[in-house]
Amino acid sequence: MTQETGVSLEDMRTFFGEEDGSAVREWIDRARRTSLAARLWKKETALWTKDAAGQAEIAQRLGWLEAPDRASKTVPELTAFAAEVKADGYTNTVLIGMGGSSLAAEVYRNVCGLKAGHPELTVLDSTDPGRVRDVEARLDLTKTLFLVSSKSGGTIELVSLYKYFADRVRSVSGESWAKQFVVITDPGSPLEASARKDGVRRVFHGYPDVGGRFSALTLFGLVPAALIGVDVAKVLASAKTMAARCAGSVDASENPAVVLGTAMAVLAESGRDKLTFALPRRLASFGDWAEQLVAESSGKEDVGIVPVVGEGSDKPGVYGADRFFAVMESSQEPAEAFTAALERAGQPYVSLRVDSPEDIGGQFFLWEAATAIACSLLKVNAFDQPDVQSAKDRTKTILSKLSAGAQVELRRSEHTLEAFWDNLEEGDYAAILAFLPDRPELRSELEGLADAIRRKTRSAVTLGFGPRYLHSTGQLHKGGPGRAIFHIITAEPAEDVAVPGESYTFGQLETAQAMGDYTALEEKGRWVFHSRLERPDAASLKALCGSVRKALTA
């Protein structure tokens, strides 16, 4: 790598190519002249919008900059609580939450691992009745602690799942059921009110000035991390070290957040807007967390960076000219061969070194800061999600009809499957949106389909399970660049599950969410196709995937 093609920092290698490299360096120099990093740390809201109301909202969303220091003060409390839970003999912890309330917990579990004697952690972020039953079937309800996690405390998925498992635990534990529930929420939320009324074991407060997708280094991420034995003090020490490296006083060319954020924005504007994460297996879940952060922060006003996760490290020749790669490596899992191949193919990348599991704390902070900087350069507000509500509103309307017993016609595409896939053009991306239980055999089939589409078209393909993706990439799908096609897959539930105290089932809720998103996408002018399976099983999905492969070659 030469000075003309990249920037080299501690734990970071980059390659941009001659033309893009020149543009990135020019914008890094501009960041130096305009004191971009210093203005970020001074919390200048004008970095993202000139709108007064927008600036007022942003001013209440920049607490993540101090989160590592603030959270460090809670380490003794978290350590004591984890020891208390361990001593009580719980074998499982189930985290009920969506988006920012759940994704960081998955990273801590998969990257840092479960320490001996601590309860296993399962994340439940789905209303699919099959997924709900799958999780429950693996539990001894008398030895399971439930974390109910939500900033707002009012999302329908969260409320429904809380009611369901409260009812199930009550059936085996009697009047003491609430002692098996812990709530993490912002002060004064509806969830806190109901939790206090129920008499749950503990309520942890989040920071009101930190948005959900920036909350990995707050109690939303740290409580579940501590419960599985993660050394949260080391995680936060790593984050503080990275924060110091990203400080406003650090020269722009030496500031990893400025270098990464500038590259993300400049390359996106040059057409390389598919930020592709090439991660070792142990860090794969970090891509899911970063996907939400980047997509929901940048995807609005017809602008956005499209994160692509789960593809693996393939031969660079199968990728189009719209890619920018984020590579992670360690001494145990080096990536030199892959990055060398990317350089030969002229594909730009940033490679980040993560040797210790606890180093993930530094990566959380780096990507938060870099994303905020990238959004500032793209001139979008990193801290709102204006298009998320549209799908929620349509879901509510559809669900009210279903729960009242009315017949609701499922939305169908007027075009054929062949015509749908013919609409995928160079520079577009395809999103497979599956409202199905996230089971290994179904995920494998969908990943195989995504790989086949990518190899046939050289287009980026993303895979999201609903309703989880609605809290991750849903904003990007509707508010970001319109160069995309969306294939929504739903299924008749094999066995539906009622929501206690409500007139709707989980199956009805899931269907309403899928159709609500279909309608919202269509109203934004997106190209959408809906396939309905007779059953949510491997055979039905395999047949559909075969039809898609056939359509691709028609």
For residue 57, is it within any domain?
Answer: no
Mean pLDDT, to the nearest integer, of 104-109?
98
Residue where one domain finishes, among candidates 351, 378, 405? 378
d(CA 425, CA 497): 41
Q: Which domain holds residue 76?
A: 66-230
For residue 2, is it within any domain?
Answer: no
pLDDT (0 to 100) of residue 396? 93
Convert the pLDDT of each residue in 172-230 to its tens digit.
999 999 999 999 999 999 999 999 999 999 999 999 999 999 999 999 999 999 999 99
Query: Are 369 and 429 in a shared domain?
Result: no
Query: Are 535 and 489 in a shared domain?
Result: yes
Query: Are 525 and 405 in a shared domain?
Result: yes
SS3 at position 447: helix
For residue 58, is it within any domain?
Answer: no
Q: Is the pLDDT of residue 314 over 70?
A: no
Q: Is the pLDDT of residue 474 over 50?
A: yes
What amino acid is encoded at 196 in this protein?
Answer: R
Convert the pLDDT of each residue in 498-548 to its tens digit.
999 999 999 999 999 999 999 999 999 999 999 999 999 999 999 999 999
Query: Are 270 and 224 in a shared domain?
Result: no
**Count: domains in the chain:** 3
pLDDT (0 to 100) of residue 10? 80
Cα angle for residues 184, 189, 193 (degrees, 5° grid): 90
Convert the pLDDT of each residue in 144-153 to its tens digit.
999 999 999 9
Query: Are 262 and 208 in a shared domain?
Result: no
For residue 402, is it within any domain?
Answer: yes
Query: Are 398 and 547 in a shared domain?
Result: yes
Q: Is the pLDDT of residue 317 over 90?
A: no
Query: Are 214 and 307 in a shared domain?
Result: no
For residue 3, is it within any domain?
Answer: no
pTM for the model: 0.96
Convert the pLDDT of each residue in 417-454 to its tens digit.
999 999 899 999 999 999 999 999 999 999 999 999 99
Residue where one domain finishes, among candidates 360, 378, 396? 378
For residue 243, is it within any domain?
Answer: no
Q: Is the pLDDT of residue 283 over 90?
A: yes
pLDDT (0 to 100) of residue 301? 95
Pairing of strands 460-465, 429-434: parallel
Residue where one domain finishes, among candidates 230, 260, 288? 230
Pairing of strands 92-96, 120-124: parallel
For residue 55, is it within any domain?
Answer: no
State the number of CA atoms in the 13 A half-sphere of 157 facing the CB.
Answer: 29
Query: Are 369 and 394 in a shared domain?
Result: no
d(CA 541, CA 10): 46
When pLDDT is cut at 50, 70 and 90, the band that residue 313 belongs to is low
Q: Is the pLDDT of residue 127 over 90?
A: yes
Average pLDDT, the chain: 95
For residue 239, is it within any domain?
Answer: no
Q: What is the CATH number of the domain that holds 372?
A: 3.40.50.10490
Query: Are 289 and 318 in a shared domain?
Result: yes
Query: Are 373 and 423 in a shared domain?
Result: no
Query: Are 518 and 412 in a shared domain?
Result: yes
Query: Are 463 and 444 in a shared domain?
Result: yes
In our burial notation (b when 16+ CB lie closer than 10 A, e otherwise), range 61-99 reads bbbbbebbebbbebbeebeebbeebbeeebebbbbbbbb
